[in-house]
């Protein structure tokens, strides 16, 4: 699958503004700093798409990017900021939960996990939400270029162990070497056709 043209379709701050369109979509989620913007840029061949999403004020929103007039890449707000006030965390939860439970057009979520850190408590919670709502997902282990060979060998088992689930699909990914880009694109294609 090739991605040629990406444009920001809508930025959403409150559940009522979620767009109702016929487009199918795949979404990306993970803790802040996990490498989500870098992954999106890599997929879109540096279309400056994540630059848009990291503009002030847009980081706490859901950004819908329309790809080649055909489907959405959905950039969900990063979680795990230590200093975010409780009210903001609640707003984030409400927004994400309304999104996950109401989206018939959502075909797959890519849950990004930092390969050096492994799944955090918030990542586990996110996975539990996805299981609860019956949304298919794939784990993307980011920044694998930073792993030592010995760590690389243990990556899948570390992630399975962290999630307490040996059935997760894991794609090792690096924005630096572009490893995993084709696998993610293939998974997107498959999801959109399902």
Residues found near ligand GDP in the complex (CB under 6 A): 30, 32-38, 78, 142-143, 145-146, 174-176
Cβ distance to ligand GDP smaller for residue 107 or 143:
143
The alpha carbon dihedral of 56, 57, 62, 66 has a sign of negative
Using the 8-state DSSP alphabet, how is residue 102 labeled? H
> Cα–Cα distance between 59 and 163 in angstroms, integer?
26
Cβ distance to ligand GDP smaller for residue 4 or 51:
51
Q: How far is the CB of 29 from ligand GDP (least distance, A)?
A: 10
Helices 36-43 & 181-193 angle (0-180, nearest 10): 80
Q: How far is the CB of 40 from ligand GDP (least distance, A)?
A: 8
Number of Cβ within 10 Å of residue 86's Cβ equals 7
Q: How far is the CB of 153 from ligand GDP (least distance, A)?
A: 19
Cβ distance to ligand GDP smaller for residue 49 or 175:
175
Cβ distance to ligand GDP smaller for residue 19 or 80:
80
Q: How far is the CB of 143 from ligand GDP (least distance, A)?
A: 4
């Amino acid at each position: 699958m090739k991605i040629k043209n990406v444009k920001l379709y809508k930025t959403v701050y409150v559940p009522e503004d979620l767009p109702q369109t016929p487009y199918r979509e795949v979404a990306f989620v993970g803790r802040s700093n996990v490498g989500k913007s870098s992954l999106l840029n890599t997929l879109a061949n540096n279309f400056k798409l994540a630059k848009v999403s990291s503009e002030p004020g847009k980081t706490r929103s859901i950004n819908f990017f329309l790809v080649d007039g055909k489907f959405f890449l959905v950039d969900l707000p990063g979680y795990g900021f230590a200093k975010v006030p409780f009210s903001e965390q609640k707003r984030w939860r409400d927004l994400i939960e309304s999104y996950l439970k109401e989206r018939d057009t959502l075909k797959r979520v890519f849950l990004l996990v930092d390969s050096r850190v492994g799944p955090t408590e918030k990542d586990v919670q996110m996975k539990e939400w996805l299981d609860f709502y019956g949304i298919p997902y794939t784990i993307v282990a980011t920044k694998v270029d930073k792993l030592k060979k010995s760590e690389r060998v243990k990556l899948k088992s570390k992630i399975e162990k962290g999630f307490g689930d040996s059935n997760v699909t894991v794609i090792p990914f690096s924005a630096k070497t572009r490893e995993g880009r084709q696998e993610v694109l293939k998974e997107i294609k498959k999801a959109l056709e399902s």
